Structure formats: structure tokens, C-alpha cells
Amino acid sequence: MSPEKDLSIVIPLYNEKESLQELTAWIGRVAQTENYDYEIILVDDGSTDGSWQEIRRIAETDPHISAISFRRNYGKSAALFCGFRQAEGRVVITMDADLQDSPDEIPEMYRMIAEDGWDIVSGWKMHRQDNRLTKNLPSKLYNATARFVTGIRLHDMNCGIKAYRNEVVKNIEVYGEMHRYIPYLAKNAGYTKITEHPVHHRKRKYGSSKFGMERFINGVLDLISLWFLSIFGKKPMHLFGCTGMLMFISGFIMTVWLIIDKLVSQSKGDHFRPVTDQPLFYLALVAVILGVMLFLSGFLAELISRSSSERNNYNIKDKIN
């Protein structure tokens, strides 16, 4: 089914009551100036400050607004997943609700998707307005690591403002805290036309950030998980089997060498130590046991993978009947 609107703007939020009226009005002015057929999808992630009541009040006078409210806080990934599922626009743009992302960036990012043919356009906050010590430096290290692991040349992987073709958001699953790596999820799904666009980053006008320093540690752990799944997710035996085989062979070779060394020394009448008295024997024994266990783990992982309902889900680019 083809998208029904030009543009969907998905905004996840948590306790951002003060900024909602200003943000939606600003988006409305930009969209009407560009003559977009648009919708604004607000996803309230279990706010406790009256954000949902404010959304209901705004929606009474703005027909372009639709909204979802979670019963509790599930996280940004869950909010984006539900917003993406509801989006009807040919181009889908995400942005944060704290007014640090400027809606004035929307027309250019929309054009890059609709006219230039990009799958994803990620914002790049070249001049951040955050604290340099607690946000800027960790962010640079985090993004350098993400570029190295994913192979995607983005300066700001976790920037809140991004633009997508509708097809992209309908064919990726955002879960856990993987909202940081949507470009990587899209790349793994076959959408490789990914670029970035410098955006203006504004100082937070209301409230405070909902993310602490732990997000950088969690972000690296999530990145490792995604990297592992993208390589071995559907072929776990390639990892466990290969590692197990190497360990088993290493242990076997060490054991054979110890036995041959003993027999040679014994035949020559030289002094020799019993095989079981040598520490190397126990290292070899551990290597053999671990090798067998890893090999069996690979078999079990293959059985689980083959039973998965997702095993034959493929993104088809086009077809001719």
C-alpha cells in the first residue's frame, strides 16, 4: 500500500509538557509554508508531568496531530516503533520534543529523500550546545566507535532528527535501546543509501535531559550485540563450531604431543614425567572439553535459529510477475 501523505513527523517524548505547544505550532508553520500534506505523531512514553493532557488539548484544535500514550515508560525505541507503524507519509522524519531540533531543517531533509533518492538522511549536530565534558567528548568517542564497527560514515549516529523513506521504517524493527543504531539496522536490511545533513542544534529551553552518562556504556554494548547478530544471527554454527573445532584440535594436538614425547623419552631410556603430571595435559583437557561444549552450543543455536519465524523474512526490492 502506497503512503497516503507527503510527510509524517514522529516525535517520541517523555515529560516535555512545556515545549509541546511551541514545537507543534512551529512544525505546522513550516509544513504549511511548504504546502505538505502532513501528520504529526506524538508518542507519549509514560509521561508523569501532564504531557498527555497537553497533547489532548493541542489535538482539539490541530487536525494534523495524532498521538499514542503508553501506560508506563518503555523507552525511546518502543515509542519510535509504534510511531513508525502508524506513519503514513512518503517521507518520515523523527525529532525530539525538547526543541533542540529545529523544524526549519525539515524541508531540506524532505527534499533529500523525496528528490535525491536517499534512504536515510541523518542530522549532524556540528556545533553542539551541550556541556563539552559530559556530552561532547563522550559523543565523539562513541560516534568514532560506531563508524568503525558499522562502516557507516556518520558523524552523529544518535542525532534525534532524521529523515527516512517510508519503506525503510516499515522494514526495520526498533527494539530495546537500538534507536541509536537505526542507520545500522537499515543497512543490515539492505537500505544502504545513507547520508547526513548538518543541522542547527539549539540549547534546551525547558526541563533537563532524560539521558545520563550510562547511555554511552549501554550504547557500546548494544553496538556489539548488533554487530554480532548481523554477522552470526542466522549462522551461529559458523562462530561456535569454528571456535569449538579450533579448541578441540589444539587440545588434541597438545595431548598427542605429550604422549609422543613420553614414548620417545621412554624408548631412549631418558627420564620422563608422566603425562598426567604435566600442567599442559590439563590445559589440553580443558581445551578439548570446551571445544566439544562450543560445538554443541553451535548445534543448539542452529536448532533455535531454524525454528525462528523470522528465518525466511527477506526484503524484496522489486519483482516482475
14-34 pLDDT, tens digit each: 999 999 999 999 999 999 999
Task: Look at residues 14, 11, 207, 5 and name the one whose alpha carbon lies nearest to residue 101.
Answer: 11
Assess contact for 221 and 148: CB atoms under 8 A.
no
Dig out the grid coordinates for 241 from the structure: 563450531
Name which CATH class applies to 5-232: alpha beta
DSSP letter at 10 equals E
Per cent of the chain over pLDDT 70 is 88
Helix (H, G, I), strand (E, B) or coil at 44: strand
Assess contact for 46 and 78: CB atoms under 8 A.
no
Q: How high is the pLDDT of residue 104?
A: 94
Helix (H, G, I), strand (E, B) or coil at 301: helix
Dig out the grid coordinates for 246 from the structure: 579450533
| Domain coordinates in residue numbering, the chain | 5-232, 236-306
Partner residues linked to 196 by β-bridges: 122
Q: Kindly state the average pLDDT of the residues 46-58.
A: 94
Instruction: Taking the CA atoms of 93, 97, 100 and 103 in sequence, report the sign of the dihedral they define.
Output: positive
Helix (H, G, I), strand (E, B) or coil at 106: helix
Assess contact for 170 and 82: CB atoms under 8 A.
no
Assess contact for 83 and 68: CB atoms under 8 A.
yes
Question: pTM for the whole thing?
Answer: 0.75
Own/partner pairs, 70-74, CB within 8 angstroms, 24+ separation = 70/43, 70/44, 70/45, 70/46, 71/46, 72/46, 73/14, 73/45, 73/46, 74/45, 74/46
Task: Look at residues 107, 114, 68, 64 and name the one whose alpha carbon lies nearest to residue 91.
Answer: 114
> How does pLDDT run across 161-175, given as a tens digit for each residue?
999 999 999 999 888
Based on its alpha-carbon atoms, the radius of gyration of the chain, rounded to whole angstroms, reads: 27
Between 240 and 62, name the one with better pLDDT.
62
Q: How high is the pLDDT of residue 208?
A: 63
Q: Kindly state the average pLDDT of the residues 48-71.
A: 94
